[in-house]
Chains A and B, each alone.
Chain A
Amino acid sequence: MRDQDMRVDSQLSEAEIAEVLEEASHYPEKSGASIEGLKVVQKYRGWVSNESLKQVADLLDMSVEELDGVATFYNLIYRQPVGRKVILCCDSVSCWMLGSDNIKQKISDRLGIEYGGTTSDGEYTLLPIVCLGACDHAPVLMVGDELHHNVDEAQLDQILNTRAS
């Protein structure tokens, strides 16, 4: 659906514009909402294209260069298309000690992608992430907005199966 939106309409929708401006109202200067503005676009389109970036910059009275400088600093702003679900695999210390390397390998084997890659059906993108603040449940994955605790191979099958169909 997102892909279609993206192709059919490169203009920000009214809803997107309203949400970006709502965020901007939280700050004395509109540019304060740059990150949240980009995240609004991402919520609807999955990623931030050059056209979207330009429109958000206009809404927030920023130059394109300035906003792109912000967009490229933050790892959760995607400046290229990603899958419908992004898999964030925690590779920080506690998860590493409890086998996150192995979990990452299993995901790569199953989906045929490495870090930074997207499956050919556009379903998943795999990325590493710093500690997700759930180290007592290591190893941990975040798939879309959902956090998965104590991930093992059996659970991985379930997580990826339910979504792959």
Chain B
Amino acid sequence: MFGKFLKKSKNRNPDKPLTRNIVDGRAYATLSDYQSTGGYEGLRTAITTMDSLGVQQVVKDSELRGRGGAGFPTGLKWSFVPMGEKAPETKYFVVNADEMEPGTFKDRVLMEKDPHQLIEGMVIGSYAIRATAAYIFLRGEYHLSAERLSQAIAEAYQQGFLGKNILGSDFSLDLYLHSSAGRYICGEETALLNALEGKRAIPRAKPPFPQISGLWGKPTIVNNVETVCNLPHIFFYGVEWYAGLGRGKDQGTKLFGASGRVKNPNVWELPMGTPIREILEEHAGGMQDGYQLKGFLPGGASTDFMLPEHLDVLMDFDAIAEHGSRMGTGTMIILDDKTCPVKMVLNLEQFFSRESCGWCTPCRDGLPWVVTILEDLIAGKGQASDLELLEHQTKMMGPGNTFCALAPGAMEPLQSALKYFRGDFEKYLERPVVKEAE
């Protein structure tokens, strides 16, 4: 019977597992919608046929990499959690649903349209590390996600997918929704742990890593929403099927998106390793009439610019890195030829400056300084040495010089803009007083 079910569901968009329940004209997938395509069967397979280490092994074999921006292998991350009898009794599994990186709009879709998918993934992840409680750390502005998730959590308890002895096993789990109250820094995983403990969201020193000492000092895994949404399918359809999805080196599918002046800004589930050109030209429909592509940030505000000459690069973690940027969140921000790259970078740096948590000096003082230099430059009050000063800042706030990755992320669009759009910066030096033309 199970086999028949499997076969039937396999026919249904097996190439787009994450969005298979997102159907035009349907607000969201209810529990029965979700179960009609095999929902909670992946969990059943994991929990009734494997032990926790076995589940970890499947995820390692799947080569799933984190979708929160850094692409860290999920199975490897889990393997650092102490297991067995000597391990602490209390452990936590936390989902990062803070989604505040400018230009990123993928996790919201997954939570609003198919909330049970995330919950099933969380139970699988929690079982893999033997977590005793799980939290969804949700940004405060996502009211609709909160509503749908709360309902889904209640249903999952009713059906025995959460609570005591899940599906008749010896595994029990409580799952809570934490609705936050702003600040981009909460998405940084150690700041998130402080926020979840009800403190100011200041990042923590690493080591110790959260896997050893996280929430309230207990072993804790933090994974992105989209990462976790992959789990049910890996267990339902199997690792082999999963490996067949990617077109490049990475496995599975990914939500890719594009915003800015493209004809059809949106988010699409596509194979890992889809060429950027295909995403922009076929899915986003190319540029709006009267606009040309000048560059793009491939995966949110804290990724380096890429150029039209990079259109044939594959959306793969390593392929993008080879071209000096990062896949980040996979949602692209498109720079058109009528938008000034210097002003765009100013907008980005204003964001980072405002959102700096203020804990370490290079970031707290450096980001406002960068903003001032850019503002002066744009106002026609710049000098030639400013560009060197900006370059100097990108080093000062580069990796290793600040307490967390916010400031290095802030430097990525700046350093690449200085490299690729130098002429646009220099133009402001040629004209001593530039009036706001627009």
Contacts and interface: CB of A to CB of B under 8 A. Distances in A.
A97 B339 contact: yes
Interface stretch (B6-14, B176-184, B306-314): B176-184
| Residue from B90, B199, B339, B354 with most neighbouring chain A CB atoms (10 Å) | B199
28 contacts: A26-B135, A27-B197, A29-B216, A32-B197, A36-B178, A38-B181, A74-B183, A76-B182, A77-B181, A77-B182, A88-B141, A91-B350, A91-B351, A92-B102, A93-B301, A93-B351, A97-B260, A98-B261, A131-B105, A131-B351, A133-B107, A133-B141, A135-B105, A135-B331, A136-B258, A138-B265, A145-B143, A147-B144
B219 interface: no
A75 B181 contact: yes
A164 B307 CA distance: 46
B18 interface: no
B196 interface: yes
Contact of A32 (B198, B259, B267): B198
A94 B198 contact: no
A63 B350 CA distance: 34
A39 B140 contact: yes
Contacts of B261: 97-98
Given A70-B198, A94-B103, A133 B142 contact: yes
B102 A76 contact: no
Given A131-B103, A136-B257, A136-B259, A93 B333 contact: yes
A116 interface: no
B355 interface: yes
Contacts of B259: 94, 135-136, 138
A34 interface: yes
B104 A135 contact: yes
A93 B299 CA distance: 13
A94 to B, nearest CB: 4
B200 interface: yes
Contacts of B183: 73-75
Interface string B338-367: 010000100110110011000000000000
Nearest to A71: B181
Interface in A24-47: 26-29, 31-36, 38-39
Contacts of B142: 133
A130 interface: yes
Given A38-B181, A97-B260, A136-B257, A131 B100 contact: yes
Contact of B301 (A27, A38, A92): A92
B101 A131 contact: yes
B176 A35 contact: no
B199 A70 contact: yes
Nearest to A138: B259
Interface of B: 90, 99-105, 107-108, 135, 139-144, 176, 178-184, 195-201, 216, 257-261, 265-267, 301, 331, 333, 336, 339, 344, 347-348, 350-351, 354-355
Contacts of B333: 93-94, 135
A31 B197 contact: yes
Contact of A133 (B108, B198, B301, B344): B108
Contacts of A74: 180-183, 201
A26 B176 contact: yes
Contacts of B348: 93
Contacts of B257: 135-136
Contacts of A70: 198-200
A105 B253 CA distance: 41
B105 A134 contact: yes
Contacts, number: 135
A38 to B, nearest CB: 7
Contact of B102 (A36, A69, A94): A94
A132 B337 CA distance: 25
B262 to A, nearest CB: 9
A129 interface: yes
Contacts of A69: 200
B200 to A, nearest CB: 4
| Residue from A31, A70, A75, A133 with most neighbouring chain B CB atoms (10 Å) | A133
Nearest to B297: A93
Contacts of A29: 197-198, 216
A88 B139 CA distance: 14
A75 B102 CA distance: 17
Interface string A66-108: 0001100111110000000000100111101110000000000
Given A27-B198, A135-B265, A136-B266, A39 B100 contact: no
A142 interface: yes
| Residue from B99, B141, B198 with most neighbouring chain A CB atoms (10 Å) | B198
B99 A133 contact: yes
B331 A35 contact: no
B180 to A, nearest CB: 6
Interface string A110-143: 0000000000000000000111111111100010
Nearest to A74: B181
Interface string A1-39: 000000000000000000000000011110111111011
A31 B195 CA distance: 11
Given A97-B260, A135-B259, A35 B102 contact: no
